[in-house]
Structure 1
Amino acid sequence: MERNAILSAASAYARDGALTDDLKRLVAHRSISQSEGLPEDLMRYLDEEMVPLLVGMGYKTDIFDNPREGGAPLLIASRIEGEDLPTVLTYGHGDVCNGEPGRWREGLDPFTLTIEDGKLFGRGTADNKIQHLINLKALEHVIKGRGALGFNSKIIIEMAEETGSYGLREFFSEQKQALAADVLIASDGPRLAADTPTMFMGSRGGLPFDLVVNLREGDHHSGNFGGLLADPVIILSHAIASIVDARGQIRIPEWRPTSLTNDIRRALKDLPPRRHDADWGEAELTPSERVFGWNSFAVLAISAGNIAAPQNAIASSARARCQLRFVVGTDVDDILPALRRHLDAHGFSMVEVLGLKEEPFRATRFSPDHPWVGFVERSIAASSGKPPHVLPNLAGSLPNDAFTDILGLPTIWVPHSHAECGQHGPNEHALLSIADEGIRVMTALFLDIADHASELRKTA
């Protein structure tokens, strides 16, 4: 009866408006870590929202300066109930991408929560404010319902995930003892299907970089100099076309992974269909293999001249912001050197390859055979009434390597968003239906961890 009462209270929190009230406050914080943001807004999110919530739940909280100059603050919270109990670490990021209000449809504002037909619109709704809110509130419902968690809990909230988790790895190295745990259970990224829970144990890596062609000072009249002066836009376009073919298949050998093994193919075989273009990506791979088991190259933005008011002139320079998403088995330290060798070999020595301030997210996978993975999978299946989709890794990128490589933890992610959420773009939104199921799933999982604490401690 106690368990049912706790789960009912958790569902009521999502269904009766309390969750949206809390989310409204979180979304109103302009906690942007990209170019539109202010450092004081990042700190305000921790001071005004996270600290009061966690202190009220009986956690000890500390806010730390980022170990790297210009980095965003980080928060560690802990609730230790017994040295003989397992310790669960969870994670969230309170920072968001640029709001870009001009790109949102009429009637929506990125920092005002708007509810329409079960959709919760606002910057950070899906990525990541509702996700860590659900997990923290699930912990709170267990504490309120039982008077204790029944296990130890540690929480890390960072404010720079959207800029590559700048400084996070140095911070983890400094705070290894404070963050020591038995497992990471956290939420980010999307479900594979909105109506079915998803688990993944790693993520694709991500490395942004710029390609630049800078030929001369100033633009030159296209009549007087057309046919005489090289066009940097055309050169850059051909350089990009040498990296991938017309359907986006990667042409750089070092960027083509060798880690799509038979066991990974089997894990991806029976996943539900995803929205995709049939004539895009690796022709010999299934859609699931393309997004979870392979590398992908993207041009995120490209600039030359003034598209809003084009002039009859040959541009002096052109720039493209590019990105490689990559799976385990790709040598992250050789990505840009391999690109440099490729461009030189194809006659594009004039194209500069520029790395960025943002740190790369390294690719990770964790064994699905680990006891914690099986435990979480069984708990989710029981509480939701359906087996979750279990993925070897997320298609997107997360700082998962900081947890696996520095803290040495098994990592399990249970996302509370969906693939069509619009994260990083206009009209970002979460689904109330996922929030309702998500908080029940997480509350049940934390109850299950408490009920099996002694056997789970032995798996450490």
Structure 2
Amino acid sequence: MDQKLRDYFIHNRERQLAELTEYLSIPSISAIPAYKEDMKKAADWTANMMRQIGWEKAEVYSGKGHPIVYGEWMKAPGMPTVLVYGHYDVQPVDPLELWETPPFEASIRDGKLYARGSSDDKGQVFMHLKAVEAILQTHGHLPVNIKFLIEGEEEIGSPTLPAFVEENKQLLAADVLVISDTTLLERGKPAIVYGLRGMTGIQIDVKGAAGDLHSGLYGGAVQNPIHAIVEILASMRAKNGSITVDGFYDKVRELSAEERAEFASLGQSEDAMASQLGVPELFGEEGFTALERIWARPTLEVNGIYGGFQGEGLKTVIPSEAHAKITCRLVPDQDPQEIADLLESHVKKAAPKGVTVKVTQFDKGAPFLTPFDHPAIQLAGKAYEEVYGVPTAYIRGGGSIPVVASFAEILNTPIVMMGFGLSDENFHAPNEHFNLENFDKGLEVIARYLFKLDGNL
């Protein structure tokens, strides 16, 4: 990368961070209807930034869900076209009292930018915008054609985006799709993700008596919904970490010996992971390392359980209802709908007498896996290596980006997942933050990558 670009990033850093602070101040929480206007505001902000940078086209599409932003710069005839995908929506901020500073008032402490969305995913979307800006300002044109597709529903499973992509295949046609919504292997060690787990989830609602009952008057004569839901949940996983839902593992694609060896060669310490997480020891399905369980094995997790009296002291009631939320991370070749149906069937069979049980399915996304020897992926690895000075790791990701599998199926385009976050940056949790060393290096990596793609696809 030439000195003009480096100088541009250095001289404009404070302005860019101020702009990012403004972006992060918009509480674009897609899961909560009360934030609908903020979602529109964030979409408009994204499109306006594209126009300010010099996009030929920047539009906000309003449909059944939250707005989708599309922009393009197509003035490099004969050169490859890069489609960049990201999302402007963020997770809810609860519990608010655990935030050291307000979640939508960005602050910098110890070289880290704290705010909801700083790492997942506004900060990383913003980096792509600013890398393009820098090239246009220093060179007057881009080495490739570029399109941006930034949605507002990723944190709720991208329910409307696949239909938009299907309806706009020609508009979104590209030679490579780039996504920055993943992490480095660890600090200073870049990684390209070639596989993601899918996801499915359910909510369990257990109903007992018509209302809360006095435990002295009725205790011992009726089923307690909290006891019932605990019994149901306990029936879904064995003490050794394996999942006991019939058929759950039937279609799981096993890890190859080569992949297991590659994962082991990364030298990740399980003791260090346990220490970082603040737990006495790691736990999971027997027969697999922690990395194998995170990247290539399916899971079943209780994400929330609630019911009955929650205040201080005692209230001697038998609650009339109890609830739990469960999500499963899935691996190739598990089908999200099939797994959701298996979960629902298991819950209904496991329900004890004396209560009625309702299961609601939600949040489905297919797993994704791709060969990582494609030139578009290898060139991204080289761009990382030139900036970070160490070899790029090619890894799977434990998380889910539901729309990635849809992109692969609909657009038939190679997908490069090159993220700049770190796994300890508290995305989805209080005090989310983004290490600014990766903001600075990431801008350079993205710019280098765009120049490497010039004529190489």
- Does the pair score TM above 0.5? yes
1:263, CA displacement in angstroms?
3.6
Aligned counterpart for 2:308 among listed residues 305, 309, 324: 305
Query: Which stretch of the first structure deviates more once superposed, 149-158 or 375-384?
Result: 375-384
The alignment status of 1:219 with 2:225, answered yes or no, reads: no
Opposite residue 154 of structure 1, the aligned amino acid is K
Take 1:249 and 1:128, find their aligned partners in 2: how far apart are those partners? 32
Take 2:113 and 2:95, find their aligned partners in 1: how far apart are those partners? 16
1:37, CA displacement in angstroms?
4.0
Partner residue, 1:118: 111
1:38, CA displacement in angstroms?
2.1
Take 2:200 and 2:51, find their aligned partners in 1: how far apart are those partners? 34
Q: How does 1:38-437 map to 2 (within 5 A)?
A: 38-66=35-63, 68=64, 71-100=65-94, 102-106=96-100, 108-256=101-249, 257-271=252-266, 272-273=268-269, 275-276=273-274, 278-309=281-312, 310-346=314-350, 348=352, 350-356=356-362, 359-437=363-441
The 3-state SS of whatever aligns with 2:129 is helix
Q: Is the 8 A contact 1:268 1:288 kept in 2?
A: yes
Opposite residue 301 of structure 2, the aligned amino acid is A
Query: Which stretch of the first structure deviates more once superposed, 317-326 or 440-449?
Result: 440-449
Q: Is the 8 A contact 1:199 1:414 kept in 2?
A: yes
Q: Is the 8 A contact 1:51 1:61 kept in 2?
A: yes
Q: Is the 8 A contact 2:106 2:113 kept in 1?
A: yes
Opposite residue 27 of structure 1, the aligned amino acid is L
Query: Which stretch of the first structure deviates more once superposed, 315-324 or 334-343?
Result: 334-343
Opposite residue 6 of structure 1, the aligned amino acid is L
Opposite residue 5 of structure 1, the aligned amino acid is K
Take 1:336 and 1:58, find their aligned partners in 2: how far apart are those partners? 42
1:273, CA displacement in angstroms?
3.1
Query: Which stretch of the first structure deviates more once superposed, 241-250 or 111-120?
Result: 241-250
1:218, CA displacement in angstroms?
0.3
Q: Is the 8 A contact 2:241 2:286 kept in 1?
A: no
Summarize deviations over 1:262-281 as a string: whole Å, max 9, x none.
34323322222362464511
Identity between Structure 1 and Structure 2 (%): 27
The 3-state SS of whatever aligns with 2:16 is helix
The 3-state SS of whatever aligns with 1:210 is strand
Task: Give the TM-score normalised by the residue count of structure 2.
Answer: 0.91
The 3-state SS of whatever aligns with 2:376 is helix
Take 2:110 and 2:29, find their aligned partners in 1: how far apart are those partners? 27
Summarize deviations over 1:132-153 as a string: whole Å, max 9, x none.
1111111221222221112110
The 3-state SS of whatever aligns with 2:220 is coil
Take 1:154 and 1:116, find their aligned partners in 2: how far apart are those partners? 34
Question: Which blocks of at least 5 consecutive residues in structure 1 are unaligned?
Answer: none
How many residues were matched structurally? 444
Opposite residue 4 of structure 2, the aligned amino acid is A
Opposite residue 138 of structure 1, the aligned amino acid is A
The 3-state SS of whatever aligns with 2:158 is coil
Task: Give the TM-score normalised by the residue count of structure 1.
Answer: 0.91
Opposite residue 302 of structure 2, the aligned amino acid is V
Opposite residue 387 of structure 1, the aligned amino acid is P
Opposite residue 37 of structure 2, the aligned amino acid is E
1:348, CA displacement in angstroms?
4.9
1:289, CA displacement in angstroms?
0.1
Take 1:412 and 1:267, find their aligned partners in 2: how far apart are those partners? 19
The alignment status of 1:27 with 2:24, answered yes or no, reads: yes
Q: Is the 8 A contact 1:32 1:98 kept in 2?
A: yes
Query: Which stretch of the first structure deviates more once superposed, 129-138 or 381-390?
Result: 381-390
CA RMSD, Structure 1 to Structure 2 (Å): 2.0
Opposite residue 203 of structure 1, the aligned amino acid is L
Return closer, same or farther for 1:190/1:154 CA change in 2, 3 Å cut-off: same
1:253, CA displacement in angstroms?
4.5
The 3-state SS of whatever aligns with 1:213 is strand
Q: Is the 8 A contact 2:337 2:364 kept in 1?
A: no
Take 1:285 and 1:313, find their aligned partners in 2: how far apart are those partners? 43
Opposite residue 4 of structure 1, the aligned amino acid is Q
The 3-state SS of whatever aligns with 1:148 is coil
Opposite residue 448 of structure 1, the aligned amino acid is K
Opposite residue 201 of structure 2, the aligned amino acid is P
Take 1:215 and 1:115, find their aligned partners in 2: how far apart are those partners? 50
Take 1:352 and 1:5, find their aligned partners in 2: how far apart are those partners? 61
Question: Which blocks of at least 5 consecutive residues in structure 2 are unaligned?
Answer: none
Take 2:109 and 2:390, find their aligned partners in 1: how far apart are those partners? 27
